[in-house]
Structure 1
Amino acid sequence: MNFPLVMFILLVITGSIWLLDYLILRHKRTPDQSEPLWIEYPKSFFPIILIVFTLRSFIIEPFKIPSGSMIPTLLVGDFILVNKYTYGLRLPVINLKIMDINQPKRGEVMVFRYPEDPSVDYIKRVVGIPGDTVTYHNKQLTVNGDMVKMHYEGEYKYVESGLGYIYAEHFKEFLGDRDHAILINQGIPSLQLSSVRHFPFLDHCTYHRAGFTCEVPPGNYFTLGDNRDSSSDSRYWGFVPEQNIVGRAFMIWWNFNDFNRIGLSIN
Structure 2
Amino acid sequence: MAGYFSILLVLLTLGSGLIWLIDHLMYAPKRQERLALAQTSAGAKLDDETAALIAPEPVLTETAKSIFPMIAAITIFRSFIFEPFQIPSGSMMPTLLVGDFILVQKYSYGIKDPVWRTQLVEMDEPERGDIVVFKFPGNETIDYIKRTIGLPGDKVVYRDKHLYIQPKCAEGEVNRSNLQCGEYNKIDMEVKDRGEFMLKGMESVRINESLTEDGHDILIYPEVPEKKGRYFRQAGTRTDEWVVPADHYFMMGDNRDNSEDGRFWGFVPKENLVGKAVFIWMSFEFENGPDDVLPGWVPTGVRFERLGNIQ
Q: Give the TM-score of the pair, scaled to structure 2.
A: 0.79
Task: Map 1:118-197; keep pairs closer than 5 Å.
Answer: 118-144=140-166, 145-158=184-197, 167-193=203-229, 195-196=230-231
Preserved contact between residue 65 and residue 75 of structure 1 (Cα < 8 Å):
yes
CA shift in 2, pair 1:38/1:108, >3 Å: same
Report SS of the residue matched to 1:13. Answer: helix
Q: What is the one-letter code of the residue matched to 1:55?
A: F
Task: Map 1:216-235; keep pairs closer than 5 Å.
Answer: 216-235=244-263
Distance 1:13 1:156 in 2: 54
Preserved contact between residue 196 and residue 206 of structure 2 (Cα < 8 Å):
no
2:241 to 213, 219, 222: 213
Distance 1:263 1:183 in 2: 20
Distance 1:206 1:28 in 2: 75
Give the match for residue 124 of structure 2: 102
Task: Map 1:195-206; keep pairs closer than 5 Å.
Answer: 195-196=230-231, 202-203=234-235, 205-206=237-238
Preserved contact between residue 142 and residue 148 of structure 1 (Cα < 8 Å):
yes
Distance 2:210 2:15 in 1: 49
How far off is 1:157 after superposition? Answer: 2.6
Give the match for residue 5 of structure 1: 7
How far off is 1:93 after superposition? Answer: 1.5
Question: Cα RMSD over matched residues?
Answer: 1.6
2:267 to 220, 226, 239: 239
Bigger-Rg structure (1/2): 2
Say whether 1:59 aligns with 2:95: no
Q: Give the TM-score of the pair, scaled to structure 1.
A: 0.91
Larger strand proportion of the pair: 1
How far off is 1:166 after superposition? Answer: 5.0
**Gaps (5+ residues) in structure 2?**
36-50, 167-183, 286-301
Distance 2:62 2:236 in 1: 58
Superposed CA offset, 1:145-199 (max 9, x none) = 0011111102143366xx5x65211100111333111000111123341x3457x
How far off is 1:203 after superposition? Answer: 2.2
Preserved contact between residue 282 and residue 304 of structure 2 (Cα < 8 Å):
no
Q: Which moved more, 1:52-61 or 1:184-193?
A: 184-193
Preserved contact between residue 90 and residue 96 of structure 1 (Cα < 8 Å):
yes
